[in-house]
Structure 1
Amino acid sequence: MTSLFQILLMILNLVWFVMIAHIVMSWLINFQVLNLRQPLVAQIWFGLNRLLEPIYGPIRRILPNMGGLDLAPLIALLGVYALQIILMNNAAAFH
């Protein structure tokens, strides 16, 4: 059971890092540091969007319309962090 616990934590850490990369990349695109007309940047951006849309989509449907402000990544990051805390606090159940 310890290996299952470690695998779950590893997956949550991977999701967390992918979300951080997506958030930083969105800032760089919005501040025109990165350009979506570059093929590599566009591929990475659209790949990250495809990976994270199943997580962000349901959150966006629940949240009210905030204009141009998208709070779905923040809520998802908090959710991943909360799941990590729950797993760590219940680690004894996995032994």
Structure 2
Amino acid sequence: MIDALLTSVLTIVLSILFLYKWVIIISSVLTWVKPDPYNPIVQMLYRLTEPAYAFVRRYIPTVVGGMDFAPIILIFAIIFLETFLQNLFF
């Protein structure tokens, strides 16, 4: 019973991490085309990703040569977390 519960919770957490990874990818690709900042989808992506970017930027200088590496650092951190959780529970 508890195994099924833990497996279900872990599956949900891994799904959320997977979706958030794609939100980061989409938001970083959108910065290349300079979308309308008043677009509700762009605002939603900004609100979902900017707190995580700010957290990374607080500890690591991420802007090098005008390019921000915060999304790449976050994606690597999410991949590490996904792998760690999968190996820990499965």
Structure 2 residue 84 is matched with structure 1 residue 86: yes
**Cross-structure match for 1:27:** 32
**Cross-structure match for 1:43:** 40
Distance (whole Å) between structure 1 residues aligned to residue 36 and residue 51 of structure 2: 22
Structure with the larger RCO, 1 or 2 (CA within 8 Å, 6+ apart): 1
Structure 2 residue 72 is matched with structure 1 residue 74: yes
C-alpha root-mean-square deviation of aligned residues, in Å? 1.7
**Cross-structure match for 1:32:** none
**Cross-structure match for 1:6:** 11
Q: Percent identity?
A: 36
Relative to the length of structure 1, the TM-score reads: 0.77
- Which structure features the higher share of strand residues? 2
Relative to the length of structure 2, the TM-score reads: 0.80
Deviations 1:16-45 (A, max 9, x none): 11111111211222xxxxx417x5xx2222
**Which amino acid in 2 is paired with 1:86?**
F
Distance (whole Å) between structure 2 residues aligned to residue 24 and residue 57 of structure 1: 18
Distance (whole Å) between structure 1 residues aligned to residue 58 and residue 10 of structure 2: 31
